[in-house]
Chains A and B, each alone.
Chain A
Amino acid sequence: MSKRDVKERIQDFLEVDEGISENNAVLEATRCMECVRPNCVKGCPVNIDIPGFISAVAEKNFRKAADIIKSDNMLPAICGRVCPQENQCEGKCVLGVKEKPVRIGALERFVADWERKNGIQKPDIAKPTGKRVAVVGSGPAGITAAAELARSGHSVTIFESLHAPGGVLTYGIPSFRLPKEIVKAEIDEVLSLGVELKLNHIVGRSIPVDDLLSYDAVFLGTGAGLPSFMGIEGENLNGVYSANEFLTRVNLMHADSFPDYDTPVLRGGKVAVVGGGNVAMDSARVARRMGAEVFLIYRRREEDLPAREAEIANAVEEGINFYCCANPTRIIGGPAVTGIECVKMNMKSPDESGRPQPVPIEGEEAKFIIEADVVIEAIGQSPNPLLISLIDALKKGERGNVIVDENGMTSIPHVFAGGDIATGAATVIEAMGTAKKATAAINEILK
């Protein structure tokens, strides 16, 4: 894997990680011991046959490798890039105990990129069943569900409220981590199976709930799009963004190319980002690329940062300033932001998640102010309430999620849900995994 030089890459939105060469891929593949009981597979939420595809890479049979991956994962070029491999497949690889784990993600990405360059093979499609299925949302959950359902011969329509498909892959994750051509290629592949995509259709509004429920089956993949705000003083000052807004303005609306594109965004000389997950890293690195000095404020310790390891390392290299063990108490300014006041945090014994509980340190000395003209809050998203609040019969959980059984079935028997709307904010691969389960169950009820 080669990464582009820091000085160069913070000037643009091109991909940071350039992937591995064919030779290195084959070499890396030969490191795999092809374990009989492979731990790595257990670590992958969709249980890809990892030793199987890696051995095909070692044999330079990349087509076969692609086929193996794709029987479990429709979007390998994406997952190879964005999966938190250190907590999933690679985290479980036996080689990781003594030396470095096999770089499964990089290999998966290599295979997917190879296939895209060398022509994607169309999967077989079953005979038309005459059943109509509606898929709501075109994020990874919706795309996966649509592909699986189309392959099973159903007539599938995806409804997407935005003007572009992809969900978070399009409006959230920046192109320097996930180039938009790749998202487009993967979506085009799904559409080539005969799936109909209706953009600008807000289900619940453009498509009344009764019309939705009149489909033979429904898959809800509406995601966790509702941004949380901290609820502190000064939050509605000009220059305070949710990460969703900031990233949408840049990734979806191209505000980085203003005024060539019409949507503006405040670039900020100094930008403070609050949070420590992937969303916070992405916001920080986008702001950096638009020329800002960036401060990232996180309430726990550096080792607790929940973002992907690789992206934390990239953010550090790109000169993001980290303030760990600190939490904002108020945003200062009027009408525009001028700074953010924080309090230093002490770590108490770990909570259920195993991470230490941060508690604010008392007294004025524990407070400090960071000057900033833009503040970006990346403290979490909850399930999108727009549609599910309009479907009365749908059972919802405390966190605003749709309650589903182990097959993804909701409290309405022909309505299924998967991805962040069911699990709460999670990962791309988990969204795909839950969508696959749900589509298997949909196939059962449509038999």
Chain B
Amino acid sequence: MAYKVEKASEIAENIFEYWINAPHVSKNAQAGQFVVIRIDEKGERIPLTISAAKGDLVRIVFMGVGKTTKYLSTLKSGDYVLDIAGPLGHPSEIKKWGNCVLIGGGVGIACLPILAKALKSAGNHVTGIIGSRNEKLLLLEDELKEDCDELVICTDDGSKGFHGFPADILKKKLEETNIDCVWIIGPAIMMKITSMATIPSKTKTFVSLNPIMVDGTGMCGSCRVTIGGETKFACVDGPEFDAHLVDWDELMSRQRIYPAQEKESLENFQEHQCRCGEHHHE
């Protein structure tokens, strides 16, 4: 059985939003969980965070970085993906924390809407801080304005909002007010650096780890990460963990097991795409 992409759109530069018909996922999806997608028979299984769920539809938002995500980005509304499994992973710890700050970096911003909604309905005051390199890479601003009590936008180059990093805003907020819980979701290096801001105040800080996965169900150990000196499987024990316990260097090193293969795979794909493109023009 294949699953229909009901709506596919590019919502920022090289960032895509898909609504996929997958009731088994959408009906049970909670904040913090993810899906595993396989596009076709020869495809790799890749994990993508659940960004929203509505009726039978589940939303994913992804950036075209390598073969699979670039190939995925060529699908159009009405196309199908062969497999979508989920929801996977532990849901975020939703309860009445008080003052929550949610930080999204780059495509990690996509993880915030579902989380913000859940935290707000649990009675929290939610501040969103989203950051990207420049204005063209910002996403879901309008939606997050609705979902959060307050939304701060940052860009590295100052093309929109605050000129600087979400970490700068977080530091300021920590000085100004009492913050009970922080979520930081984005590239590993961004999560590592940003979460340093909450170490002095020992503010509870969650990050969503993104090691390389295969099954996403706890069966292979590909996704193992070290948390407080203990090995955990991010797909079943996480993906959210206490930021202050994460072995970041190991995570970042394990994200780079296959650089040569990733390059080969992408080049192969792009070459093939060019060739197919030529055929179209004939």
* Residue B243 interfacial (CB < 8 Å): no
In which size bucket is the chain B interface? 35 or more
* Residue B242 interfacial (CB < 8 Å): no
Name the residue of chain A whose CB is nearest to the CB of B224. A236
Which residue in A207, A266, A335 is a CB contact (below 8 Å) of B24? A207
State whether A385 and B218 are in contact (beta carbons under 8 Å apart), knowing that A202-B86, A205-B86 are contacts in the complex: yes
* Residue B204 interfacial (CB < 8 Å): no
CB proximity to B under 8 Å, residues A372-426: 384-386
Please state if B257 and A262 are interface contacts (CB–CB under 8 Å): no
Please state if A264 and B262 are interface contacts (CB–CB under 8 Å): yes
State whether A202 and B217 are in contact (beta carbons under 8 Å apart), knowing that A163-B85, A262-B68 are contacts in the complex: yes
Please state if A199 and B24 are interface contacts (CB–CB under 8 Å): no
Please state if B44 and A253 are interface contacts (CB–CB under 8 Å): yes
Set of chain B residues within 8 Å of A202, measured between Cβ atoms: 85-86, 88, 217
State whether A263 and B86 are in contact (beta carbons under 8 Å apart), knowing that A238-B256, A242-B221, A384-B218 are contacts in the complex: no
Set of chain A residues within 8 Å of B28, measured between Cβ atoms: 205-208
Which residue in B84, B222, B261, B264 is a CB contact (below 8 Å) of A200? B84
Q: Which 6 A-B pairs have the closest CB atoms?
A: A264-B261, A245-B220, A262-B44, A200-B85, A206-B24, A225-B219
Set of chain A residues within 8 Å of B44, measured between Cβ atoms: 253, 261-263
Please state if B87 and A206 are interface contacts (CB–CB under 8 Å): yes
Name the residue of chain A whose CB is nearest to the CB of B43. A262
Please state if A245 and B218 are interface contacts (CB–CB under 8 Å): no
CB proximity to A under 8 Å, residues B216-267: 217-222, 224, 226, 231, 236, 250, 253-254, 256-258, 261-262, 264-265
* Residue B111 interfacial (CB < 8 Å): no
Set of chain A residues within 8 Å of B275, measured between Cβ atoms: none
Most chain B CB neighbours (cut-off 10 Å) among A163, A244, A254, A258: A163
State whether A236 and B231 are in contact (beta carbons under 8 Å apart), knowing that A202-B85, A262-B68, A386-B218 are contacts in the complex: yes
State whether A244 and B38 are in contact (beta carbons under 8 Å apart), knowing that A161-B85, A262-B265, A264-B261 are contacts in the complex: no
Name the residue of chain A whose CB is nearest to the CB of B42. A261
- A–B Cβ pairs within 8 angstroms, 17 of them: A163-B38, A199-B83, A205-B86, A206-B28, A225-B218, A229-B221, A229-B231, A238-B253, A238-B257, A241-B221, A242-B221, A259-B265, A259-B268, A262-B68, A263-B44, A264-B265, A386-B217
* Residue B107 interfacial (CB < 8 Å): no
Please state if A239 and B219 are interface contacts (CB–CB under 8 Å): no
Which residue in A205, A258, A260, A262 is a CB contact (below 8 Å) of B87? A205
State whether A226 and B218 are in contact (beta carbons under 8 Å apart), knowing that A206-B86, A235-B231, A263-B45 are contacts in the complex: yes
Binding site for B on A (CB under 8 A): 161-163, 198-202, 205-208, 225-227, 229, 231, 235-236, 238-239, 241-242, 244-245, 248-249, 253-254, 258-264, 266, 335, 384-386
- Rounded to whole angstroms, the CA-CA distance of A260 and B272 in the bound complex is 11
Set of chain B residues within 8 Å of A161, measured between Cβ atoms: 85, 215, 217
CB proximity to A under 8 Å, residues B81-129: 82-88
Set of chain A residues within 8 Å of B24, measured between Cβ atoms: 198, 200-201, 206-207
- Rounded to whole angstroms, the CA-CA distance of A198 and B85 in the bound complex is 11
Describe B's contact surface by its main secondary structure: mixed
- Rounded to whole angstroms, the CA-CA distance of A334 and B224 in the bound complex is 16
Please state if A239 and B38 are interface contacts (CB–CB under 8 Å): no
Query: A331 → chain B, closest Cβ, in Å?
Result: 13
Query: A198 → chain B, closest Cβ, in Å?
Result: 8
- Rounded to whole angstroms, the CA-CA distance of A254 and B236 in the bound complex is 24
- Rounded to whole angstroms, the CA-CA distance of A208 and B42 in the bound complex is 30
Query: A224 → chain B, closest Cβ, in Å?
Result: 10
- Rounded to whole angstroms, the CA-CA distance of A161 and B86 in the bound complex is 8
Most chain A CB neighbours (cut-off 10 Å) among B67, B88, B258, B261: B261
Query: A77 → chain B, closest Cβ, in Å?
Result: 24
Other 8 A-B pairs with CB < 8 A, given A229-B224, A263-B45: A163-B45, A163-B85, A200-B85, A205-B33, A225-B217, A238-B253, A253-B44, A261-B44
Query: B129 → chain A, closest Cβ, in Å?
Result: 30
* Residue B1 interfacial (CB < 8 Å): yes
- Rounded to whole angstroms, the CA-CA distance of A163 and B42 in the bound complex is 12
- Rounded to whole angstroms, the CA-CA distance of A226 and B221 in the bound complex is 8
* Residue B130 interfacial (CB < 8 Å): no
- Rounded to whole angstroms, the CA-CA distance of A239 and B215 in the bound complex is 18
Please state if B42 and A384 are interface contacts (CB–CB under 8 Å): no
Query: A200 → chain B, closest Cβ, in Å?
Result: 4
State whether A244 and B221 are in contact (beta carbons under 8 Å apart), knowing that A199-B83, A253-B214, A262-B42 are contacts in the complex: yes
* Residue B25 interfacial (CB < 8 Å): yes
State whether A244 and B220 are in contact (beta carbons under 8 Å apart), knowing that A205-B87, A206-B24, A386-B236 are contacts in the complex: yes
Which residue in A238, A245, A335 is a CB contact (below 8 Å) of B221? A245
Set of chain B residues within 8 Å of A201, measured between Cβ atoms: 24, 85
State whether A259 and B220 are in contact (beta carbons under 8 Å apart), knowing that A163-B83, A200-B85 are contacts in the complex: no
- Rounded to whole angstroms, the CA-CA distance of A73 and B221 in the bound complex is 33
Please state if B42 and A266 are interface contacts (CB–CB under 8 Å): no
Name the residue of chain A whose CB is nearest to the CB of B91. A205
Please state if B45 and A253 are interface contacts (CB–CB under 8 Å): yes
- Rounded to whole angstroms, the CA-CA distance of A238 and B259 in the bound complex is 12
Query: B169 → chain A, closest Cβ, in Å?
Result: 33
- Rounded to whole angstroms, the CA-CA distance of A244 and B221 in the bound complex is 8
- Rounded to whole angstroms, the CA-CA distance of A227 and B235 in the bound complex is 14
Name the residue of chain B whose CB is nearest to the CB of A263. B44
- Rounded to whole angstroms, the CA-CA distance of A53 and B250 in the bound complex is 57
Q: Annotate B7-51 by CB proximity to A: 1 below 8 A, 0 otherwise.
A: 000000000000000001100100001000010001111000000
Name the residue of chain B whose CB is nearest to the CB of A257. B42
Name the residue of chain A whose CB is nearest to the CB of B257. A238
Set of chain A residues within 8 Å of B1, measured between Cβ atoms: 199
Set of chain A residues within 8 Å of B236, measured between Cβ atoms: 385-386
Set of chain B residues within 8 Å of A254, measured between Cβ atoms: 42
State whether A264 and B258 are in contact (beta carbons under 8 Å apart), knowing that A202-B86, A206-B25, A236-B226 are contacts in the complex: yes
- Rounded to whole angstroms, the CA-CA distance of A392 and B98 in the bound complex is 30
